[in-house]
Amino acid sequence: MQSNHNYTYQELAAFAEAVFLKMGCPASDATLATNVLLSADLRGIDSHGIARLVGYVRLWEVGRINATPNIQIVHETPSTAVIDGDRGLGLIVAPRAMEIAMEKAKQVGTGWVSVKNSNHFGIAGYHAMMALEQEMIGMAMTNASALVAPTYSAEKLLGTNPIAVAIPAGEEAPFVADFATTTAANGKLEIAQRNNTDIPMGWAQDAEGNATQDASILKKGGALLPLGSEKEQGSHKGYALGSIVDIFSAVLSGASFGPWAPPFPAYVPMPENMPGEGLGHFIGAMRIDAFRPAADFKSNMDLWLHRFRNATPAKGHEQVYVAGDIERKMEKERMQNGIPIVHAVQSDLAALAEKMSLTFEVKS
């Protein structure tokens, strides 16, 4: 077990912002990238937050991330656009895509932006939630390097390809779904590795496609399984969802897709014969008053949320949650009491600080 210690949001944000500035990001981009990155830590999705900062820097060092991208619309209609992220941080490119989607939604009701030549964009939920303030439904998805085997496949052909959908309400807290299209995220396997425990059946398979409980199986040629785990439990549905995310994000935009999606670790060579440019995202915004008067929608949405949040719990449970409830609670708690960072990540950040002539205090 690793010890860990809490950092305030402000401590982590100041450090992350300093790193992005050292990379050469313009000041406003450094602030935005920090907000996006740390929203993961606040919401309890530790695998996608500051723990990845070192990884982003390494991609910048090898030239796969451009700190001063010229993000451009390369194709558009009144409700759609494709943008070229110019190898920018996904943390910057995806919010820009959402701004464009919302601008189009203001004009014609909805906006849909497919993005190529980007990089990892942090948590999908951040980008989807941008729409909430504008009384819009927001959607965000991204492809990622292949860790997942389709149903009946021994090969890894898809990333964990998350989907986020944020839906505004009136008095009730909004609906915010944000999930990988796999049974379990890779971060959960990493935790099991650190703790030296087995993983549950249904999370992964070995190199030949056999069921396994080995938490280190990905290092031995194994794969994560799509949501549903096995055919009998509906894995072909999780496989279809992951496919849709890959196609909307990368085939629609001209990014690299399927087994050719670029890897996150900078030491992993780029795939050969890449059919497109960089990672892809798909971002959508729908104005709720493009369908109904906003007050009517919000009133019904409040009823929906209230009914689900007050459902009779199953035996052994105390509460039925709506998507986003647990993350919202965590965000409040961590903003107040700080964010725990495991020692291994603290060491990584301290080494990064030294390399960049910055300071990062190791607390445990």
Applying the rule CB under 8 A, the residues between 125 and 184 that interact with a copy of itself are: 149-155, 157, 165, 167, 175, 177, 179-184
The answer to whether the beta carbons of residues 138 and 131 sit under 8 Å apart is yes
Question: Closest separation between CB of residue 210 and a copy of itself, Å?
Answer: 6
Closest contact distance (angstroms) between CB of 288 and a copy of itself is 7
Q: Which two tokens stand for residue 335?
A: 């903003």
Nearer to a copy of itself (CB atom), residue 73 or residue 335: 73
* Least Cβ distance, residue 51 to a copy of itself (angstroms): 22
How many Å apart are CA 226 and CA 103, to the nearest integer? 34
Q: Please state the closest distance from residue 218 (CB atom) to a copy of itself, in A.
A: 16
Q: Which of 44, 55, 187, 202 binds a copy of itself (CB under 8 A)?
A: 202
Question: Does residue 127 contact residue 35 with C-beta atoms inside 8 Å?
Answer: no
Separation CA 29–CA 78 (nearest Å): 27
Kindly determine how many residues on this chain lie close enough to bind a copy of itself according to the rule CB under 8 A: 87
What is the distance in angstroms between the CA of the first residue and the CA of the last residue of the chain?
13
Pick 66 or 183: Cβ nearer a copy of itself: 183
Q: Which is nearer to a copy of itself, 29 or 246 (CB)?
A: 246
User: Residue 220: beta bridge partners?
Assistant: none
Sign for the CA dihedral angle at 116, 118, 124, 127 comes to negative
Beta bridge partners of 340: 6
CB within 8 A of 211, min separation 6: which ones? 201, 202, 205, 230
Is 9 an interacting residue with respect to a copy of itself (CB under 8 A)?
no
User: For residue 233, how many other CB atoms are within 10 A of its CB?
Assistant: 14
User: Distance (Å, rounded) from C-alpha 53 to C-alpha 351?
Assistant: 12
Structure tokens belonging to residue 274: 């890449």
Identity of the residue, 142 or 243, whose beta carbon is nearer to a copy of itself in the bound complex: 243
Q: Binding to a copy of itself (CB under 8 A): which residues in 75-114?
A: 75, 77-80, 82, 107-110, 112, 114
Task: State the CB neighbour count (10 A cutoff) for residue 270.
Answer: 11
Question: H-helix or E-strand containing 110?
Answer: strand 110-118
Work out which of 15, 60, 264, 297 binds a copy of itself, going by CB under 8 A.
Answer: 297
- Which of 207, 358 has the CB closer to a copy of itself? 207
CB of 41 to a copy of itself, least distance (A): 21
Nearer to a copy of itself, 14 or 290 (CB): 290
Q: How far is the CB of 133 from a copy of itself (least distance, A)?
A: 19
Using CB under 8 A as the binding rule, the residues of this chain from 300 to 359 that contact a copy of itself are 300-301, 303-304, 307-308, 311-317, 319-323
Assign 252 to helix, strand or coil: coil
Q: Could you give the CA distance from residue 293 to residue 360 in angstroms, rounded to a whole number?
A: 50
For a copy of itself, give the closer residue by CB, 82 or 218. Answer: 82
Q: Which is nearer to a copy of itself, 85 or 258 (CB)?
A: 258
Residues recorded for the chain: 364
Using CB under 8 A, which residues numbered 39 to 78 contact a copy of itself? Answer: 75, 77-78
Token representation of residue 166: 């944020």
Crossing angle of helices 9-22 and 343-355, rounded to 10°: 40
State how far the Cα of 213 lies from the Cα of 280, in Å rounded to an integer.
31
What part of residues 260-289 is at the interface with a copy of itself (CB under 8 A)? Answer: 275-276, 286-288
Minimum CB distance to a copy of itself smaller for 17 or for 246: 246
Q: What is the DSSP track for 155-208?
A: S--B----EEEEE--SSSPPEEEEE-SBSS-HHHHHHHHHHT-PPPTTSEE-TT
Residue from 68, 73, 268, 291 touching a copy of itself (CB under 8 A): that is: 291
Residues 233-262 that bind a copy of itself (CB under 8 A): 233-234, 236-241, 243-244, 246-247, 251-254, 257-259
| Residue with Cβ nearer a copy of itself (37 or 147) | 147
Least distance from C-beta 101 to a copy of itself, angstroms? 11
Q: How far is the CB of 127 from a copy of itself (least distance, A)?
A: 16
